[in-house]
Amino acid sequence: MDATEKASLLIIEDHEIVALGLKTLIGSHPALHSIQCVSTAKEAIQLTVQHPYDLYVIDVELPDMNGIELIKNLKLLSPDSAFIFHTIHDELWTLRQMVNSGANGIVMKSDDVQELETAITQVLEGNNYFSSHFRECCEEMELHQTLSDREIEILRLIAEGLATKDIAEQLFVSANTIEFHRKRIMRKLRATNMAQLVREGIAKGYIKATNQKL
Protein backbone atom coordinates (compact mmCIF):
# COMPACT_ATOMS: atom_id res chain seq x y z
CA MET A 1 0.00 0.00 0.00
CA ASP A 2 0.99 3.65 -0.42
CA ALA A 3 3.38 4.80 2.32
CA THR A 4 1.20 7.89 2.94
CA GLU A 5 -1.94 5.83 3.60
CA LYS A 6 -2.82 4.37 6.98
CA ALA A 7 -4.09 0.82 7.27
CA SER A 8 -6.97 -0.93 8.98
CA LEU A 9 -6.07 -3.95 11.14
CA LEU A 10 -8.16 -6.87 12.36
CA ILE A 11 -6.79 -8.94 15.25
CA ILE A 12 -8.22 -12.48 15.37
CA GLU A 13 -7.45 -13.86 18.82
CA ASP A 14 -9.75 -15.91 21.04
CA HIS A 15 -8.06 -14.95 24.32
CA GLU A 16 -9.61 -11.60 25.21
CA ILE A 17 -6.78 -10.46 27.46
CA VAL A 18 -4.21 -11.18 24.72
CA ALA A 19 -6.32 -9.43 22.08
CA LEU A 20 -6.86 -6.32 24.19
CA GLY A 21 -3.21 -6.30 25.18
CA LEU A 22 -2.12 -6.38 21.54
CA LYS A 23 -4.59 -3.65 20.64
CA THR A 24 -3.22 -1.44 23.41
CA LEU A 25 0.44 -2.14 22.67
CA ILE A 26 0.24 -1.51 18.93
CA GLY A 27 -2.54 1.06 19.07
CA SER A 28 -0.16 3.95 18.51
CA HIS A 29 1.56 2.39 15.50
CA PRO A 30 1.94 5.23 12.98
CA ALA A 31 0.91 3.06 10.01
CA LEU A 32 -2.50 2.16 11.46
CA HIS A 33 -5.69 4.20 11.55
CA SER A 34 -7.99 1.58 13.10
CA ILE A 35 -7.71 -1.69 15.02
CA GLN A 36 -10.54 -4.10 15.69
CA CYS A 37 -10.56 -7.46 17.53
CA VAL A 38 -12.64 -10.60 17.04
CA SER A 39 -12.37 -13.99 18.71
CA THR A 40 -13.53 -16.38 15.98
CA ALA A 41 -12.88 -17.13 12.33
CA LYS A 42 -16.60 -16.77 11.61
CA GLU A 43 -16.60 -13.18 12.86
CA ALA A 44 -13.48 -12.39 10.82
CA ILE A 45 -15.08 -13.74 7.65
CA GLN A 46 -18.35 -11.89 8.26
CA LEU A 47 -16.56 -8.58 8.78
CA THR A 48 -14.37 -9.13 5.73
CA VAL A 49 -17.40 -9.74 3.54
CA GLN A 50 -18.72 -6.37 4.64
CA HIS A 51 -15.42 -4.50 4.43
CA PRO A 52 -11.97 -6.09 3.96
CA TYR A 53 -9.13 -4.99 6.21
CA ASP A 54 -5.69 -4.03 4.97
CA LEU A 55 -3.95 -6.27 7.50
CA TYR A 56 -4.91 -9.28 9.62
CA VAL A 57 -3.04 -10.52 12.70
CA ILE A 58 -4.16 -14.11 13.26
CA ASP A 59 -3.65 -16.71 15.97
CA VAL A 60 -3.20 -20.25 14.64
CA GLU A 61 -5.49 -21.86 17.21
CA LEU A 62 -9.06 -20.54 17.06
CA PRO A 63 -12.21 -22.16 18.46
CA ASP A 64 -14.02 -22.69 15.16
CA MET A 65 -11.27 -22.93 12.51
CA ASN A 66 -7.48 -22.99 12.60
CA GLY A 67 -5.75 -19.84 11.45
CA ILE A 68 -4.11 -21.55 8.50
CA GLU A 69 -7.49 -22.47 7.02
CA LEU A 70 -8.78 -19.01 7.86
CA ILE A 71 -6.07 -17.34 5.81
CA LYS A 72 -7.14 -19.37 2.77
CA ASN A 73 -10.71 -18.14 3.19
CA LEU A 74 -9.71 -14.53 3.77
CA LYS A 75 -7.37 -14.52 0.77
CA LEU A 76 -10.32 -15.47 -1.44
CA LEU A 77 -12.40 -12.62 -0.02
CA SER A 78 -9.62 -10.04 0.09
CA PRO A 79 -6.62 -11.00 -2.10
CA ASP A 80 -4.92 -7.62 -1.63
CA SER A 81 -4.82 -7.87 2.17
CA ALA A 82 -1.74 -8.86 4.16
CA PHE A 83 -1.58 -11.50 6.89
CA ILE A 84 0.61 -11.99 9.96
CA PHE A 85 0.51 -15.05 12.20
CA HIS A 86 0.91 -14.34 15.92
CA THR A 87 1.16 -17.68 17.66
CA ILE A 88 2.62 -19.70 20.49
CA HIS A 89 2.89 -22.85 18.38
CA ASP A 90 6.39 -23.90 17.33
CA GLU A 91 5.78 -27.55 16.45
CA LEU A 92 7.44 -28.87 13.30
CA TRP A 93 4.18 -29.49 11.43
CA THR A 94 2.69 -26.13 12.38
CA LEU A 95 5.84 -24.27 11.32
CA ARG A 96 5.66 -25.91 7.91
CA GLN A 97 1.96 -25.09 7.54
CA MET A 98 2.52 -21.45 8.46
CA VAL A 99 5.36 -21.10 5.96
CA ASN A 100 3.29 -22.73 3.20
CA SER A 101 0.15 -20.70 3.94
CA GLY A 102 1.37 -17.63 2.11
CA ALA A 103 1.38 -15.44 5.21
CA ASN A 104 3.34 -12.22 4.86
CA GLY A 105 4.71 -12.38 8.38
CA ILE A 106 5.09 -14.74 11.32
CA VAL A 107 5.72 -13.59 14.89
CA MET A 108 5.82 -15.83 17.94
CA LYS A 109 3.98 -14.83 21.13
CA SER A 110 7.25 -15.32 22.99
CA ASP A 111 8.80 -12.49 20.91
CA ASP A 112 8.96 -8.93 22.19
CA VAL A 113 6.08 -6.74 21.07
CA GLN A 114 8.63 -4.75 19.04
CA GLU A 115 8.85 -7.77 16.71
CA LEU A 116 5.14 -7.48 15.96
CA GLU A 117 5.43 -3.75 15.44
CA THR A 118 8.31 -4.31 13.03
CA ALA A 119 6.35 -7.02 11.25
CA ILE A 120 3.41 -4.65 10.77
CA THR A 121 5.69 -1.95 9.36
CA GLN A 122 7.52 -4.30 7.01
CA VAL A 123 4.42 -6.11 5.77
CA LEU A 124 2.54 -2.89 5.07
CA GLU A 125 5.55 -1.74 3.05
CA GLY A 126 5.20 -4.85 0.89
CA ASN A 127 7.90 -6.98 2.51
CA ASN A 128 7.76 -10.31 4.30
CA TYR A 129 8.84 -10.46 7.93
CA PHE A 130 9.68 -13.44 10.12
CA SER A 131 10.66 -12.86 13.73
CA SER A 132 13.98 -13.88 15.22
CA HIS A 133 12.40 -16.62 17.35
CA PHE A 134 10.53 -18.01 14.36
CA ARG A 135 13.74 -18.12 12.33
CA GLU A 136 15.48 -19.92 15.20
CA CYS A 137 12.66 -22.48 15.29
CA CYS A 138 12.98 -23.01 11.54
CA GLU A 139 16.73 -23.48 11.79
CA GLU A 140 16.22 -26.02 14.56
CA MET A 141 13.59 -27.72 12.43
CA GLU A 142 16.01 -28.04 9.53
CA LEU A 143 18.68 -29.50 11.79
CA HIS A 144 16.34 -32.33 12.75
CA GLN A 145 15.20 -33.07 9.22
CA THR A 146 16.61 -35.98 7.31
CA LEU A 147 18.15 -35.41 3.90
CA SER A 148 15.87 -35.78 0.91
CA ASP A 149 16.74 -38.15 -1.94
CA ARG A 150 17.92 -35.21 -4.04
CA GLU A 151 20.07 -33.88 -1.20
CA ILE A 152 21.65 -37.29 -0.71
CA GLU A 153 22.40 -37.42 -4.44
CA ILE A 154 24.05 -33.99 -4.32
CA LEU A 155 25.98 -34.93 -1.18
CA ARG A 156 27.29 -38.06 -2.97
CA LEU A 157 28.46 -35.98 -5.93
CA ILE A 158 30.13 -33.47 -3.61
CA ALA A 159 31.93 -36.35 -1.92
CA GLU A 160 33.10 -37.56 -5.33
CA GLY A 161 34.82 -34.21 -5.77
CA LEU A 162 32.52 -32.60 -8.34
CA ALA A 163 32.27 -28.83 -8.43
CA THR A 164 28.93 -27.01 -8.24
CA LYS A 165 28.92 -26.35 -11.99
CA ASP A 166 29.57 -30.02 -12.79
CA ILE A 167 26.85 -31.22 -10.43
CA ALA A 168 24.39 -28.75 -11.96
CA GLU A 169 25.16 -29.99 -15.46
CA GLN A 170 24.84 -33.62 -14.41
CA LEU A 171 21.48 -33.06 -12.72
CA PHE A 172 20.19 -30.63 -15.39
CA VAL A 173 19.57 -27.78 -12.95
CA SER A 174 21.13 -24.38 -12.36
CA ALA A 175 24.25 -23.79 -10.27
CA ASN A 176 22.14 -21.62 -7.96
CA THR A 177 19.86 -24.58 -7.28
CA ILE A 178 22.84 -26.73 -6.31
CA GLU A 179 24.16 -23.98 -4.04
CA PHE A 180 20.76 -23.72 -2.36
CA HIS A 181 20.73 -27.48 -1.70
CA ARG A 182 24.33 -27.46 -0.54
CA LYS A 183 23.62 -24.81 2.10
CA ARG A 184 20.58 -26.75 3.33
CA ILE A 185 22.62 -29.95 3.56
CA MET A 186 25.31 -28.15 5.53
CA ARG A 187 22.74 -26.79 7.99
CA LYS A 188 21.11 -30.19 8.41
CA LEU A 189 24.45 -31.92 9.00
CA ARG A 190 25.81 -29.00 11.07
CA ALA A 191 28.87 -28.78 8.86
CA THR A 192 30.97 -25.64 8.41
CA ASN A 193 33.09 -26.76 5.44
CA MET A 194 33.14 -29.37 2.70
CA ALA A 195 35.44 -31.80 4.49
CA GLN A 196 33.23 -31.78 7.57
CA LEU A 197 30.15 -32.12 5.36
CA VAL A 198 31.48 -35.32 3.84
CA ARG A 199 32.57 -36.70 7.21
CA GLU A 200 29.12 -36.06 8.69
CA GLY A 201 27.49 -37.60 5.62
CA ILE A 202 29.56 -40.76 6.12
CA ALA A 203 28.97 -40.82 9.88
CA LYS A 204 25.20 -40.61 9.42
CA GLY A 205 25.18 -43.27 6.72
CA TYR A 206 24.12 -41.09 3.79
CA ILE A 207 27.25 -41.93 1.77
CA LYS A 208 29.96 -44.56 1.85
CA ALA A 209 33.52 -43.82 2.96
CA THR A 210 34.82 -45.00 -0.41
CA ASN A 211 33.09 -42.02 -2.05
CA GLN A 212 35.18 -39.50 -0.18
CA LYS A 213 37.78 -37.60 -2.25
CA LEU A 214 38.26 -34.55 -0.02
Taking the C-alpha atoms of residue 102 and residue 79, their distance in angstroms, rounded to an integer, is 11
pLDDT digits (tens, 9 = 90+) for 19-44: 999 999 999 999 999 999 999 999 99
DSSP 2-19: -TTS-EEEEEE-S-HHHH
pLDDT digits (tens, 9 = 90+) for 65-110: 999 999 999 999 999 999 999 999 887 678 878 888 889 999 999 9
Query: b/e per residue, 138-161, with b = 16+ CB within 10 A?
Result: beebeeeeebeeebebbbbbbbee
* Residue 67 main-chain phi, psi, to 5 deg: -60, -30
Query: In this structure, are residues 202 and 208 in contact, taking their beta carbons and an 8 Å threshold?
Result: yes
Residue 32: helix, strand or coil by DSSP? strand
pLDDT digits (tens, 9 = 90+) for 132-188: 888 888 777 666 667 888 999 999 999 999 999 999 999 998 999 999 899 989 988
* Residue among 203, 29, 18, 13 nearest 118 (CA): 29
* Confidence band, pLDDT 50/70/90 cuts, at residue 213: very low
pTM over 0.75: no
Report the mean per-residue pLDDT for the chain. 90
* Confidence band, pLDDT 50/70/90 cuts, at residue 205: confident
